[in-house]
Structure 1
């Protein structure tokens, strides 16, 4: 298990993040938290977490200042920044300074899982660790078809890879691999693709706002929805609507 430290002066963000990390099913656990940058730096120095997830705006030291101190002191902790859309430029600056990634508020389970999966791969590669091997077993192909069917029926809800793995008694890494073999896409890629296809259909109805469409296809963060839509289609939802 890998250690995560949370730094945020908003308690509800910390509580929510702890639940999302637990739900991810990935080998991470929250080993500490702090509500200001100064305490966070002291804790990182003494406890040496593998990952620090920190808000950009923090009392004492900001998230960017924390990142700078960690880099200067060579502490080796990977930093993920949390920002609101208003601080998006600061998040980009953080990436230039060596932050691993950033999370936009409100934090989505899917996006967090992607970031954690990337961190897991990077940490294991740096340490020369091998991903835990799956035991040899005969896997019933009807189960993966059931999983795919469930995803197709529930893709507009808060379906997660961790929940599906637990429900069908498969490890997350094994299920992820099986889904990629079956679908030709990763779970998050397939989910986003289905949701964006639905969003395109809804954008034809000009009585619906882009914000309400984002909610309808499973995204509570309008800006994150716009980013995913543009990544998949090449244009923003508003521009797509104008082309119809």
Structure 2
């Protein structure tokens, strides 16, 4: 991985020394530009997007302080190390207030330069690794949040708690710092909230106060879900609509039946298809076909993620004996083919 560095100083000797020190210290370091003043450095930084800038404070045309201000105004947040002499301490302090990560006193010492740049390089590599892991978690966390929202909406407490454990497992298995885990938990809460909002206006999850540990944030998140579950039950008079609950239980038990049609579901209930349609829409926000498909796809995702069954066997167990039809339906619902989904889950 190349670590891109821009050198800025009006003294050619200083730039030559830095170039020699850095290119000899690590093969990953690449000097992407050299500038003699802040104005020239600003143009190079905009073009080259370096990871690190090492800049002098006192320069003609545009000094180091103004350069740092202009970089931040442009939204360029690369690391900056300043070079300063013993008589420039006040300037160095001002630079540090603008987000400079460290400073090097002139005359430079090779050990100090290599140590500071190595420290920033290590931080850069860790941040990059964190970004890679986070990108791999987006799909499974989004999927878990979608399932939690679904189980909440149908007031299925056991299902909700099962999906909560799945989400917690994803976050517990990461190497993230607790601030990053809390950030991912916020993302999941936002997805759940968006899933429910059209049908059930509610208050989004917020941390009671800043500075919580991940454990405290998880407890707050769980309490928020419990509150939503109770509000949904109260709003929809849950428990007094036994007929629709019987139908939902029947669908969940028999979804693997490839010939499960509405007539089979309604036969023991003694209600019309029109009445059932309205009740199901009120309870789940979905039609019969959409709800059955959702149940089947959720189960298919579970089998793809946690079993060694072949993809066509997964389809058969979810009510799709015709494998091409299963693949087409799964991709339309999930956005990935069954094989692609399994591969993504294995890499997460």
Summarize the alignment of residues 218-237 of structure 1 with structure 2, pairs less than 5 Å apart. none
Question: 1:28 Cα deviation (Å)?
Answer: 1.1
Shift of 1:27: 2.3
For 1:109, the equivalent position in structure 2 comes to 110
The residue correspondences of 1:89-104 to structure 2 (distance < 5 A) are 89-104=90-105
Q: Which residue of 2 aligns with 1:65?
A: 66
TM-score by length of 2: 0.36
Q: Secondary structure at the match of 1:9?
A: coil
Q: 1:211 matched to which residue of 2?
A: none
Q: CA deviation at 1:14?
A: 0.4
Q: Offset at 1:26?
A: 5.8
Query: What pairs up with 1:193-212 in 2 under 5 angstroms?
Result: none
Residues in 2 aligned to 1:116 and 1:27: alpha-carbon distance in whole angstroms: 12
In 1, Cα distance between the equivalents of 2:32 and 2:115?
A: 21
Match of 2:76 in 1: 75
Structure 2 partner of 1:30: 31
Mapping of residues 1-244 of structure 1, within 5 Å? 1-25=2-26, 27-128=28-129
Deviation at 1:88, TM superposition (A): 1.9
Q: Distance in 2 between matches of 1:125 and 1:60?
A: 36
Deviation per CA, 1:115-159: give whole Å up to 9, x if none.
Answer: 1121112212332369xxxxxxxxxxxxxxxxxxxxxxxxxxxxx
- Contact map agreement 1:26 1:117 (CA 8 A) in 2: no
- What is the aligned length? 130
Q: Is this contact kept in 2: 1:26–1:116, CA < 8 A?
A: no
User: Residues of 1 paired with 2:108 and 2:31: CA distance?
Assistant: 16
Distance 2:113 2:76 in 1: 23
TM-score, length of structure 1 as denominator length: 0.50
Q: 1:113 to 1:77 in 2, by over 3 A?
A: same
Higher normalized helix content (fraction of residues): 2
The offset of 1:87, in angstroms, is 0.7
Deviation at 1:113, TM superposition (A): 1.5
Residue aligned with 2:40, SS: helix
For residues 132-189 of structure 1, the C-alpha deviation after alignment (integer angstroms, 9 at most, x for no partner) is xxxxxxxxxxxxxxxxxxxxxxxxxxxxxxxxxxxxxxxxxxxxxxxxxxxxxxxxxx
Note the alpha carbon deviations across 1:209-243, whole angstroms, 9 max, x for none.
xxxxxxxxxxxxxxxxxxxxxxxxxxxxxxxxxxx
**Which residue number in structure 1 is paired with residue 190 of structure 2?**
none
Q: Is contact 1:37-1:66 (8 Å) kept?
A: yes
Q: Post-superposition shift, 1:23?
A: 2.5
| Paired residues of 1:24 and 1:109 also in contact (CA < 8 A) | no
